[in-house]
Structure 1
Amino acid sequence: MNLFRPINASALVTIAAISVSIIPAIIHISGLTSESRQGTVSTAGDMEEGDTEDSQANLPTEDVGAIGHNRKCIECDLRGVDWQSRDLSRINLRQSNLTGANLQGSKLVNAVLIGTDLSQANLSKAHLYGADLKTANLQRANLENAQLLHASFSQANLTEANLENAELRDADLSFATLQNARMHHASLYGAILRNADLAGADLSEADLRYADLSNANLEGTDLTNARLDFAILPDSIR
């Protein structure tokens, strides 16, 4: 008995036609799956200010590698996220919740963190050069040895934050709340501290040369051995 029967030409044509129709479908499904996985992250060019589509999605921790430059995740729930030593430069996390997040040693250069909740977050040794943290909540955040040059903390809440040895040269801290903040040996050279609330803060051995402290609240502030050369001081301590 002959078990191997030859396949006629018409059968081969039918098989080829089926393959041609199936392969594009598989590719299309694969593309949709890839898009669905990345749907929580949008590029900065995709949406204008105020757009809401995809902006409020929760960003899974494992997707941090897909963020890259010029990404944003607005009003996202990122509590306790572990992004230690990550490059998050230029990311937009405006009004997101990063309470207790681990950002130690991360690069957040020119990041947009307006109104972001970073309370109790670990930002020690992080690089936030030029970052925008206006109205952000940084209560009890750890910013020890952080690089914060030219960063904006205007109207931010830094109550009881740890800013020891932090580099805040030319930073904007106007109207910021820094009650009981630890700023021992911090560099605030040329920083703007107009109307800042520094009541009870530790500024011992801090560099405040050329800083603007006009109308700042320095009640109970420790300025032991602080450098105040050419600083603009409030009337209360002139």
Structure 2
Amino acid sequence: MRYSFVFLCLMTVSFSSFAKCDDEAKAGVNWTGCDKSSLDLSGVDLQGAILRRVNFTNSNLSKARLQAADLSFSRLENTKFVNARMERVRLNNAKINEADFSSAVIDNARFSRAVIKQTVFNLAKLNKADFYEARVETSQFENTEIAKANFSRAMLVSANFKNVAGIEANFSQANLENADFTAANLTSAKFVEANLLNVKFNQATLNAASIQGAVIDGAVFTDAKLSSTTWVKYKRCRNGSVGICD
């Protein structure tokens, strides 16, 4: 009798764990480990939802509400988050490939150690977002807001940061080889000990920024504003410096 009771309990737990994947999309839903690929989830409310290890390949979550949701370790391949609300979302260790976050609000989000390839963040808000040790390849951040965002120790090779608003953003020890910061506002940003090989800073604002200890071989600073910028060897550029650290 005792063993029958234990077996019944185990079966109940098992069935309930499978049943959660059929739960409707709603705030706080637990879809851990579920396959939610190729679905139209545009506009749904998934605030605070537990979405760890979920497969969202080819799904559309445009205009969805995902504030404080946890998508850590999830698979986001060709997934759309256009105009989604994603403040405080967690995407740590997520696999993100050819996703679209255009115009999404993703302030205070966590992308630590995520693998991000050929993904679009154009016009998104990523203020205070954390990309610590993320691996970002050939992705687009054009016209995004990244004020006080943390990209320290991230791999950002060939990333497009044209026209970003990146006041006080932190790129210390990041690999930014071949990245493009043309016309970006990087006032007080940190590039300490970063790899800036062949990076374009044309017409960027780097006033009061720091690139001390950085590798800048091949980097281009044409018409960049460098007032009070801390240069590679701790030299401080004079006020009014443009293009060259005087």
Q: Higher helix fraction: Structure 1 or Structure 2?
A: 1
Deviation for aligned residue 1:108 = 0.5
Specify the alignment match of 2:8 in structure 1.
none
Deviation at residue 45 of structure 1 after TM alignment: 9.5
TM-score of the aligned structures, taking structure 1 as reference length: 0.76
Q: Is the 8 A contact 2:60 2:81 kept in 1?
A: no
Q: How far is the alpha carbon of 1:55 from its aligned partner? A: 2.8
Number of aligned pairs? 202
Partner of 2:107: 109
- Looking at structure 2, the residues matched to 202 and 170 of structure 1 have their Cα atoms a distance apart, in angstroms, of 19
**Structure 2 spans left out of the alignment, 5+ residues:** 1-18, 33-45, 236-244
Moved over 4 A (4+): 31-34, 41-46, 62-67
Q: Deviations over 1:79-120 (max 9, x none)?
A: 110111111111101110111101111110101111112221
Partners of 2:144 and 2:133 lie apart in 1 by: 19
Matched, 1:39 2:39: no
Aligned residue among 31, 51, 54 for 1:57: 54
**Structure 1 portions without partners, runs of 5+:** 1-30, 47-53
- Read off the aligned partner of 1:141 and give its amino acid letter: S
Q: Name the aligned partner's letter for residue 190 of structure 2.
A: I
Q: Quick one: which amino acid aligns to residue 192 of structure 1?
A: K
Asked if 1 retains the 8 angstrom alpha-carbon contact of 2:180 and 2:201, the reply is yes
- One of 70, 73, 76 as aligned partner of 1:72: 70
Residue identity in the other structure for 1:112:
R
Maintained 8 Å contact 1:56/1:74: yes
Matched, 1:125 2:123: yes
| Rounded Cα–Cα distance in structure 2 between residues aligned with 1:189 and 1:210 | 6
1:203 counterpart letter in structure 2: F
Deviation, structure 1 residue 58: 2.4
Q: Which amino acid aligns with 1:58?
A: N
Deviation at 1:57, TM superposition (A): 3.0
- What is the SS of the residue equivalent to 2:75? coil
With structure 2 as the length reference, what TM-score do the two structures score? 0.74
The aligned residue for residue 225 of structure 2 is 227
Asked whether the 8 Å contact 2:20–2:31 carries over to 1, the reply is: no
Counterpart of 1:215 in structure 2 is: 213
Greater gyration radius: 1
